[in-house]
Amino acid sequence: MLEALRGLTLRGRALLAAGLTCVVASLLLGLPVLVRFGAVAAALPVITVVLVGRTRYRLGLTRRVSPEIVPAGTPATVSLTVTNDARLSTSVLLLEDQVSYVLGPRPRFTVTGAGRAWRREVSYQVRSDVRGRHVVGPMTVRVCDPLGLVRLGRTFTSTAPLVVTPRVRPLAPHPVGGASAGSGNQRPRSFTSGSAEDVTVRDYRRGDDLRRVHWPSSARTGELMVRREEQPWQQRATVLVDNRAGVHAGRGAASSLEVAVTTAASVAVHLAQRGFAVRLVTARGEEDGIAWHDHVAGTDTRALLEALAVLPTESGSRMATGWLTQPGHDGLVVAVLGALPGEDTGLLRRVRAAAGAGLAVVLDVGTFGPVPPEAATGPEAASLLTAQGWTATTQQAGEPVEQVWDRLAAPGARSARATSAPTAGTTTGTTTGGPA
């Protein structure tokens, strides 16, 4: 009842105050006829409070977001199913779903006369131009009487996640190389020759030919084992994203950091679809769960995109180097960098020396905003990387990723090594380096 009293609307409070004023004024003025009108006006909100406060609502809500992972700028559909399991019909219900401001305005619905076993399905769309992990919900229900005198609020606890990944641009299938767990090509290795001890086996999977069952291993382990007659050799690629705040400029979706994340996502998905085992490395080191041994080449890019969707901005001034001591960084390395401070040249030299091939995209931070102090950017930074053996190019604000990739990975761009640094006053968008 106390909650219902606190839920009196402005109309209900005004009617209650007017009724009490009328009663007091009629008694002071000696007009008993007005007492009836005042009593009726004051009693109406009180009766409404009692009825609404004693009403028990049994509302149910089921929420579904489809799809749960969408690229930035692509809408997702939120489907709601609202049910009423109470025996009595409800009055007016005002439904409002809580969503992040980047997903658009909060959707509102009005429901009248929800009777017993009532069920209603509604849907709306959300859309975000900013990557990130968002929560849709919870829903707030406001119960209002037909006269609008009392309004009570209830909140559901159910929510649903929505992951907005960076936009992925289709890139041209230029041949890029790098070391692999073998020769660097997706070639099968035969195991049909050799003794029984040389046979590589794996667990039996449904659908395997029974003629491939390796009985000695099955007897030793107690489970069916089959021969692996071929083993694919997989190319490896490391995508390095410099996400430090001090090397980027601009704000929002148009900042150099967001452009770098979009470029890295497009390159990572492109390489994974071409059969590379891709891992993601940021300024703080290798991202957990994004090592290439966790991926099925050409199919699994969801973990990569989810990691890039929530990639934070690092406040540190130095990039982590611990991942260089781990095995497997000798394949293809694609670095997406902002401005280039002087202390980063040693790290990037080590990365290039250990990599089988090195491609670098340097954001021309000066086209996004003020350039960080004491840092090389644009063609100057690309020239420094070229001197270290990288194949480097720059990316300016508003430049499509497809054009940058064509300059960086096209056979003509990688085959020609720059013979001299750019002359003073010359602004060139591409600087080629060592062979990839």
Predicted TM-score of the model (pTM): 0.73
Distance CA 132, CA 352 (A): 31
Residue 198 in contact with residue 217, Cβ under 8 Å? no
Residue ending a domain, choose from 119, 149, 164: 164
Q: Give the tokens for residue 82.
A: 């609202």
Q: Give the tokens for residue 8.
A: 């009196």
Distance CA 385, CA 392 (A): 7
Distance CA 374, CA 246 (A): 11
For residue 184, being part of any structural domain is answered with: no
Please state, in angstroms and as integers, the Cα–Cα distance from residue 205 to each residue in 161, 201, 226, 232, following that order. Answer: 34, 12, 9, 18
Domain that holds residue 70: 59-164
Kindly state the percentage of the chain with pLDDT values over 70: 80
For residue 102, being part of any structural domain is answered with: yes
Q: Are residues 365 and 400 in the same domain?
A: yes
Match 């703080």 to its residue by tokens: 284
Which CATH number is 146's domain given?
Answer: 2.60.40.10
Distance CA 98, CA 269 (A): 33
Residue ending a domain, choose from 200, 232, 264: 232
| Top-confidence range, 101-105, 160-164, 194-198, 289-293 | 160-164
Dihedral-angle region of residue 318 (phi above 0 means left; psi in -120 to 50 means alpha; beta otherwise): beta
Q: Are residues 155 and 47 in the same domain?
A: no
Q: Are residues 423 and 280 in the same domain?
A: yes
Q: Are residues 407 and 297 in the same domain?
A: yes
Q: What is the pLDDT of residues 313-355, one digit of tens each?
A: 998 888 888 887 766 567 899 999 999 999 999 999 999 998 8
Q: Is the pLDDT of residue 298 over 60?
A: no
Q: Is the pLDDT of residue 412 over 70?
A: no
Mean pLDDT calculated for residue range 251-280: 91
Mean pLDDT calculated for residue range 36-54: 85
Q: Are residues 316 and 228 in the same domain?
A: no
Please state, in angstroms and as integers, the Cα–Cα distance from residue 77 to each residue in 59, 63, 123, 136, 280, following that order. Answer: 22, 10, 7, 11, 30
At residue 206, the pLDDT reads 73
Q: Are residues 209 and 297 in the same domain?
A: no
Q: Give the tokens for residue 137.
A: 């919900």
Question: What is the radius of gyration, based on Cα positions, of the chain?
Answer: 33
At residue 287, the pLDDT reads 67
Q: Are residues 249 and 378 in the same domain?
A: yes
Q: Is the pLDDT of residue 423 over 50?
A: no
Q: Are residues 390 and 244 in the same domain?
A: yes
Distance CA 313, CA 243 (A): 6
Q: Residues near 314 by Cβ (< 8 Å), separated by ≥ 6? A: 243, 244, 245, 282, 283, 284
Residue 43 in contact with residue 35, Cβ under 8 Å? no
Q: Is the pLDDT of residue 429 over 80?
A: no
Distance CA 80, CA 63 (A): 5
Smallest Cα–Cα separation from 52: which of 3, 18, 117, 96? 3
Mean pLDDT calculated for residue range 173-195: 51
Residue 283 in contact with residue 242, Cβ under 8 Å? yes
DSSP per-residue letters across 142-164? EEE-TTS-BEEEEE----EEEEE
At residue 118, the pLDDT reads 81
Q: Is the pLDDT of residue 72 over 70?
A: yes
Q: Give the tokens for residue 380.
A: 């100057």
Q: Domain tally for the chain?
A: 4
Q: Are residues 267 and 298 in the same domain?
A: yes
Residue 266 in contact with residue 405, Cβ under 8 Å? yes
Give the residue with greater pLDDT, 145 vs 413: 145
Q: Is the pLDDT of residue 397 over 90?
A: yes
Distance CA 135, CA 342 (A): 41
Q: What is the pLDDT of residues 303-318, one digit of tens each?
A: 889 999 999 999 888 8
Give the residue with greater pLDDT, 36 vs 70: 70
Q: Are residues 220 and 95 in the same domain?
A: no
For residue 213, being part of any structural domain is answered with: yes
Residue 144 in contact with residue 113, Cβ under 8 Å? no
Residue ending a domain, choose from 232, 250, 265: 232
Residue 286: pLDDT band with limits 50, 70, 90: confident
Q: What is the pLDDT of residues 119-162, one digit of tens each?
A: 888 899 999 999 999 999 999 888 777 788 888 778 888 899 99
Q: Are residues 279 and 331 in the same domain?
A: yes
Q: Are residues 29 and 107 in the same domain?
A: no
At residue 410, the pLDDT reads 78
